[in-house]
Chains A and B, each alone.
Chain A
Amino acid sequence: MAYFSQQLINAITLGAIYGLIAIGYTMVYGIIGMINFAHGEVFMIGAFISLIGFLICSMLGIGSAPVAIVLVLLMAMAFSAVYGWAIERTAYRPLRGSFRLAPLISAIGVSIALQNYVQLTQGARPKPGGQIVSGGFNLFSADGFDVRVTWLQIIIVVVTILLMAGFTWLIARTSLGRQQRACEQDMKMASLLGVNVDRTISLTFVLGAALAAVAGMLFLMYYGVIDFFIGFLAGIKAFTAAVLGGIGSLPGAMLGGLLIGLIEVFWAGYFSSEYKDVAVFAILVLVLIFRPSGLLGRPEIEKV
C-alpha cells in the first residue's frame, strides 16, 4: 500500500510534466492538423534556457529560491516562445497548401537541426542542474515504508494546475481563444469573418512553446540533469498522451499525460524498468489502432 502510494505520487508528478508538453501537440494539431514533431525539441531548449537561467541567477547572487524560480520561469517561457514562433514562421507557414506529408517532413528536419544545434553549442555531455528546491515531508508510514512528498513535487503539480486553469480560461473566455476555436472549425470561414488566421496560428505555437518551456524547467528541477536528447523521448511520450486523451482536446491532453505517467511509473515499479518505454510505445500503437479518436476526442470525419 505504501509502495503503491509512493508510486502514485511520483506518477502524478511525471504525468503533469507530460501533460504540459501534450497541450502544445494537441493545440497545434487541433488548429492546423499537423504533428509538430519539433515540439519535443522546444521542450529541450526550454530546459536548457532554464539551466542557464538558474546559473545566471546564482551568479547574480539571487539566493531566494521562489524569486529565482519565477524569474527563470518567465525567461524560459519568453525565449522558448520565440523559438516556437520562428519555427512556425520559417518551416511550417510556407508549407500550408503543400502536399500532406510536407509539414511533417519539415518538422522532422527542424527537430534534427535543433538537436544538433544544441549539441554543437552546449556539448553532448549531460548537464547537472543542481538542486534548487529540496526537502519534503512524510505523508504517512506503513509497512516500515515512508511515503514521502517533496516540495518540488508539490510545486510541479501546483504550477501545472494553475497553468491548466489559466489555459482553459484563455480558450473559453478570451477573444484569442474564440479565434482559435473558430480557426479550428473552419479556417477559411474564420478569415472571411475577420479573424487574422496567420496571427492566431502563430500565437498557438507561441503558447505551446511557452508551456513546453515550463515543462522543461520542471523536468530540469525534477531530474536534475538534462542533455540535448531529452526532447525526443519526452516528445514522443507527450504525443502519445495527446493521442490517448484525444488529440485536439485540452482536458484530454492533461488526462492522457496523467495516464502515461501512471503507466510508465507503475510499469517500471512493478514489471521492469527496461521495458517502460516499450510499454508507452505499445500504448501509442494500441490506441491508434483501436481508438484513433482517443478517450475524449471527437471521431474524425473525412470529407471528400
Chain B
Amino acid sequence: MRLPAMLKDAGLTAFVAAALGIFIVGFRTVDVGSSKGLSFDYHFADLAVAVVTIFLGRLGLSLAAAGLRWPAIALGAVMVAAGASPLTLPSGFLHWFVALGGVLLLIRAVWPWANDAVTLATRTPSGVALKDAGTKWFGWLLLAGAVLLPFTPVADQKTMDLAVLILTYVMLGWGLNIVVGLAGLLDLGYVAFYAVGAYAYALLSTQHGLGFWTVLPLAGMMAALFGVLLGFPVLRLRGDYLAIVTLGFGEIIRLVILNWVDLTNGPAGIGSIPGPTLFGAVFAETPPAGKQTVSQMLGISFDGIHRLIFLYYIILVLALITNLFTQRMRRLPVGRAWEALREDETACRALGINPTNTKLTAFAIGAMFAGFAGSFFAAKQRFISPESFVFIESAIILAIVVLGGMGSQIGVVLAAVLLIGLPEWFRDLGNYRMLAFGLAMVLIMVFRPRGLVAHREPSLRLHPNRPAGGG
C-alpha cells in the first residue's frame, strides 16, 4: 500500500471509530436530582483523543505491514511517550489507551524479527525438543514455587488471599479444560456445577452438621450427577447449540437458587458456613464447645494466617489432583476418544465410538471438579449467595481456558495468573478488567486461536523418539 492509500485507510478507520463513539462516549447521561430525568455530561475531548490514537495506530499498522518498520517503531514510541507523559489528557484511562496502543504497535513492528528468530531456533529437531523440555521444567518449577510460597517472606495476608483465589480459578480452568479443551464441548454454564458444589456443602454443613471432608466427595458426586442429568439429553446437539443450552441451564440453576427461598434462603444467601478442619481441629482463636483449635493441637500460638495457609494447601492439592487426573485420563481409551471426538465426530462414529457416552463422561468429570471447587469456595468464603454464580463467572473461566490455549494445562495457570492476579494487583484497573477480558478473547481468537501456550503435547506419537512435525 502506498502512503496516500494508507492515510485514506487510517482516515476511514478513524471515521468509523468516531461514528461508534459519538453518542455512547461523547454524551454521558447523568442523573439530575429527584425524578428530573437525565442530563448530559459532554466528553468530546476524550472521543477526539481516542479517534486520533486510532488514526495513528491504524497508520502505524499499515506502515508495519508494508515493511516500513522504522517509521512504525517511531510512531509507536511517540504514542507510548504521549501516553506516559504527564500531559493532561481528559482521563486516566486515555493515558493507558494511548500508551497501550503504542506498545501494541511496537510489538507489531518488531514481530517479524522476533518471529524469524523463534522459527529459526525451533526449526531444528533439537529446538523443538528443547521447547518440550522447557515446558516440562517450567511446570515443575512452578509447582515447587507454589509449594514453597507460604514459607517465603512475601506470604502475607493479601498475597495468600490472592494465591488462594488464583488457585481456585486454576482448578476451575483445569476442570473446564476437560470439557472444552479435550472433548471440544463449549460449556457456557460451567458455573452451575460450581454452584451445586457450593450449595451442597453450605446446606449439608449448616443444616445437617456434616464436615468439609465428608461433604467434599458428596459435593463432587452431586455435581457430576447434575452433569449427567443435564448432559444426557443435550449432548447430541451440535457444538454451538450445546453452548447455548448449557448457558440456559446455568441460568436456570441460578434462578432456581435465587427463587427457592425455603431451601437456599434466596438472594440473602447462606452465612456462617464452617471452615474445613484439620483432623477435627478447627481454625479459630477460641475453641467451640467440644472441639479443639489447631493452635492448641500443634502447640503454637494463634495466627489468622494459619487458616489461609491451610486453605491454600487444600486448594493446591485439589488443583493438582485435577491436573494429574486429566493427565492420566488422556492416556486412557476414553481420554483419547475425547480428543478424537473433538477433531472429527463423524469419523469417531464410524470407528464405533459412542459420541454421547464419551461426551457424557467428559461433561460429568468436568462437573465433578467444579463441584469440588464449589464446596471449597463455600468453606473458604463462609458465605455464599447466588451473586457468586452469574454467567460472567462462566465467561471468566472460559476466558482462562481460551487464553491459555485449549487443552494446555500450563497455559491455564499462566492465564489464571494473568487474568485474576493482575487485576487484583492493580486495583485501579479493576473497572476495565472485564472490558480487557472481552477484548482479549477476541484478539486471542483472531491472532492466536490456540492460545498463549500454543504448543499442545500430542497424546500419541507414531515415532516416540522423533518430535512431532519436526522432521
Q: Is chain B found bound to chain A in the same assembly?
A: yes
Known contacts being A52-B29, A120-B431, is A289 close to B234, with CB within 8 Å?
A: yes
Whether B243 contacts A101 by the Cβ 8 Å rule is: yes
Could you tell me the distance between the alpha carbons of A274 and B445 in the complex, rounded to whole angstroms?
A: 37
Within 8 A of B (CB), among A238-278: 239, 243, 274-275, 277-278
Q: Is the CB of B435 within 8 A of A113?
A: yes
Other-chain contact of B243, A82, A104, A106, A282 (Cβ < 8 Å): A104
Is A292 touching B237 in the complex (CB atoms < 8 A)? yes
Q: Does B398 contact A (CB under 8 A)?
A: yes
Contact assessment for A128 and B239 in the assembled complex, using a CB-CB cutoff below 8 Å: no
Evaluate contact between A120 and B432: CB separation under 8 angstroms. yes
A112 CB–B CB distance under 8 Å: yes
A83 and B439 CA atoms in complex are apart in Å by 15
Q: Mark A118-134, 1 if CB is under 8 A from B, else 0.
A: 10111101011010000
Cβ-based interface call for A86 (8 A): yes
B38 and A275 within 8 A (CB): no
Please classify how large the interface on chain A is, using the bins under 10, 10 to 19, 20 to 34, 35 or more. Answer: 35 or more
B243, B245, B445: the one within 8 Å of A285 (CB): B245
Instruction: State the CA gap A118–B240 with chains docked (Å).
Output: 27
* Across-interface contacts of A55 in B (CB, < 8 A): 27, 29, 38-40
Interface presence of B66 (CB below 8 A):
no
B211 is an interface residue with CB less than 8 A from chain A: no
Interface-centre pick from A121, A232, A236, A239 (highest chain B CB count, 10 A) = A121
Q: Which residues of B contact A130 (CB under 8 A)?
A: 37
Closest-by-CB residue of A relative to B46 is A121
Binary CB contact string for chain A from 134 to 147 against chain B (1 if under 8 A, 0 otherwise): 00000000000000
What B residues does A199 contact at CB under 8 A?
A: none
Closest to B256 in A: A278
Say yes or no: is A195 at the interface (Cβ < 8 Å to chain B): no
Q: Which of A7-15, A87-95, A158-166, A181-189 contacts B (4 or more CB under 8 A)?
A: A87-95
Interface stretch (choices A43-51, A60-68, A167-175, A215-223): A43-51
Query: Are B28 and A122 interface neighbours, CB within 8 A?
Result: yes
B445 touches A48 (CB 8 A): no
Interface residue A281 (Cβ < 8 Å from any Cβ of B)? yes
CA distance A121 to B25 in the complex (A): 6
Whether B449 lies near A102 (C-beta < 8 A) is yes
A114 at the B interface (CB under 8 A)? yes
Partner of A49, one of B24, B239, B438, B446: B24
Name the contact of B240 in the complex, choosing from A48, A91, A101, A289 (C-beta under 8 A): A101
Residues of B within 8 A of A239 (CB): 244
Report Cα–Cα, A35/B241, bound state, in Å.
9
B23 and A109 within 8 A (CB): no
Shortest beta-carbon distance, B233 to chain A, in Å?
Answer: 5
On chain B, the residues within 8 Å of A94 by CB distance are 446
Tell me if B303 is interfacial: C-beta within 8 Å of chain A: no
User: Given known contacts A112-B392, A302-B346, is B20 in contact with A105 (CB within 8 Å)?
Assistant: no
User: Would you call B7 an interface residue if the criterion is a C-beta within 8 Å of the partner chain's C-beta atoms?
Assistant: no
Is B383 close to A, CB under 8 A?
no
Given contacts A106-B442, A278-B252, contact A99 B19 (CB under 8 A): no
Interface check A288, CB cutoff 8 A: yes
CB distance from A255 to the nearest CB of B (A): 19
- The answer to whether B186 touches A104 (Cβ under 8 A) is yes
Q: Bound complex: CA of A274 vs CA of B184, how far in Å?
A: 34
Given contacts A117-B435, A121-B28, A130-B37, contact A112 B441 (CB under 8 A): yes
Q: How far apart are the CA atoms of A109 and B166 in the complex, in Å?
A: 21
A296 sits at the interface (CB 8 A): no
Q: Is residue A304 contacting chain B, with contact meaning CB distance below 8 A?
A: yes
Closest residue of chain B to A111, judged by CB?
B438
From residue B390, how far is it (CB to closest CB) to chain A in Å?
A: 10
In whole angstroms, how far apart are the Cα atoms of A31 and B431 in the complex?
A: 36
Given A82-B16, A101-B239, A281-B251, are A128 and B244 neighbors across the interface (CB < 8 Å)? no
When distances are taken between beta carbons in the complex, the residues of chain B under 8 Å from A275 are 255, 259
Which residues 226-256 of B have a CB within 8 angstroms of A?
Answer: 233-234, 237-241, 243-245, 247-249, 251-252, 255-256
Task: Say yes or no for A57: interface residue by CB 8 A criterion.
Answer: no
- Please determine whether B249 and A285 come into contact, CB atoms closer than 8 angstroms: yes
Q: Which of B20, B241, B251, B445 contacts A109 (CB 8 A)?
A: B445
Residue of A55, A111, A123, A278 contacting most chain B CB atoms (<10 Å) = A278
- A48 to B384 Cα, complex, angstroms: 34
Q: How far is the CA of A263 from the CA of B206 in the complex (A)?
A: 38
User: 1/0 per position for B35-74, CB-CB distance to A under 8 A?
Assistant: 1011110010000000000000000000000000000000
Q: Tell whether A83 pairs with B20 under 8 Å between CB atoms, given A120-B435, A281-B252, A304-B346.
A: yes
| Complex Cα–Cα for A118 and B43 (A) | 14
Q: List 30 A-B contacts (CB under 8 A).
A: A48-B23, A48-B24, A52-B27, A79-B23, A82-B20, A91-B442, A100-B240, A101-B184, A101-B186, A106-B445, A108-B188, A108-B398, A108-B441, A109-B440, A112-B434, A112-B435, A113-B438, A117-B24, A121-B25, A121-B28, A122-B24, A122-B28, A122-B29, A239-B244, A274-B258, A277-B255, A281-B248, A285-B248, A285-B249, A288-B237
